[in-house]
Structure formats: C-alpha cells, structure tokens
C-alpha cells in the first residue's frame, strides 16, 4: 500500500506571509499558515495547486537573470492565450517585476506571445505561459 502524499513546492523568503498573499492574489486563491508550522504558509489556487512559502531569515534572492542560465527553478503559471496581457497586468499590479527581453538569460521578444517572465516580490522567477485552447489550468503541457 502506498502512503498518501502531497507535494508542495516551497519558496524561501524573509517575509512568507506577504509573499503568500502575493501568490494567493495572483492565482485567485487563498493563503494561510500551515497547521502546526508557524514558519510555513500555504497557498491554494482555484485548481487546487499548492505552493508553500517558508520563512528564512538569511534569505538572499536568486540572481537570475544574471548570470545566464542561473534560473534553476521557476513557477509556470498557465493562462489562456487570450488572457495573457491581462494576467501580466495583474502580476505587475501585485508587485511582480517583469524580466525584460534582452536581459542576460532571457529569450527573444518574439517569445512574449506565449510566455512572460517575472520575478516575484522576493526575487523568485516565474512565468505566465499561454496554453492552447482546450487545455485546463491543471495541465502539464504549455
């Protein structure tokens, strides 16, 4: 018998409650402390995706996009292709910083039709990725 498990991608930062609220608003979800763990906040999105945000008092933001190829990991947030511009406006209004085309490590401007790159308020990288018609927010494609 397999033990029931849940996987959670956890982002470290100095202010987890603030970053959890950022992702909750961006994903249209909710954020709250993890049961029994005052250092971890959980974000649950509409599709049930969970992201954890953990306090690390010694946190230093990633250096991506400099040096090149230093992104290592990132969140990929899937969005309908016709909503990509609106999703970008929402992310920026919430405090995301666009990673401009031409910055070291970023892709060409033509890539903006399907992908937009950002750093969250704590410096973690994430992308808004357009999905083809018929794919759901929980799809692994895109």
In terms of phi and psi (left: phi > 0; alpha: psi -120 to 50; beta: otherwise), the region of 73 is beta
4 part of a folded domain? no
136 part of a folded domain? yes
Same domain, 51 and 16: yes
80 part of a folded domain? yes
Q: Note down the domain range covering 42.
A: 9-55
82 part of a folded domain? yes
Q: What is the CATH number of the domain that holds 114?
A: 3.30.720
Model confidence, pTM: 0.70
Q: State the Cα–Cα distance between residues 119 and 116, nearest whole angstrom.
A: 10
The CA–CA distances, whole Å, from 99 to 16, 80, 82, 90 equal: 22, 21, 21, 15
pLDDT digits (tens, 9 = 90+) for 110-128: 467 888 999 999 999 898 9
pLDDT digits (tens, 9 = 90+) for 14-31: 999 999 999 999 999 999
DSSP 3-state assignment of 22? helix
Same domain, 138 and 113: yes
pLDDT digits (tens, 9 = 90+) for 32-42: 998 877 788 99
Same domain, 42 and 73: no
């Amino acid at each position: 018998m397999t033990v029931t498990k849940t996987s959670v991608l956890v982002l470290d930062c100095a202010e987890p409650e603030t970053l959890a609220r950022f992702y909750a608003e961006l994903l249209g979800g909710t954020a709250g402390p993890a049961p029994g763990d005052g250092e971890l906040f959980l974000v649950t999105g509409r599709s049930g995706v969970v992201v954890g945000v953990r306090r690390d008092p010694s946190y230093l933001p990633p250096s991506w996009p400099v040096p090149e190829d230093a992104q290592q990991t990132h969140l990929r947030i899937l969005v309908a292709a016709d909503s990509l511009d609106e999703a970008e406006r929402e992310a920026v209004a919430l405090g995301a910083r666009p990673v401009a085309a031409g910055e070291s490590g970023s892709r060409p401007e033509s890539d903006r039709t399907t992908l937009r790159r950002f750093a969250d308020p704590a410096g973690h990288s994430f992308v808004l990725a357009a999905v083809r018609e018929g794919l759901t927010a929980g799809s692994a494609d895109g």
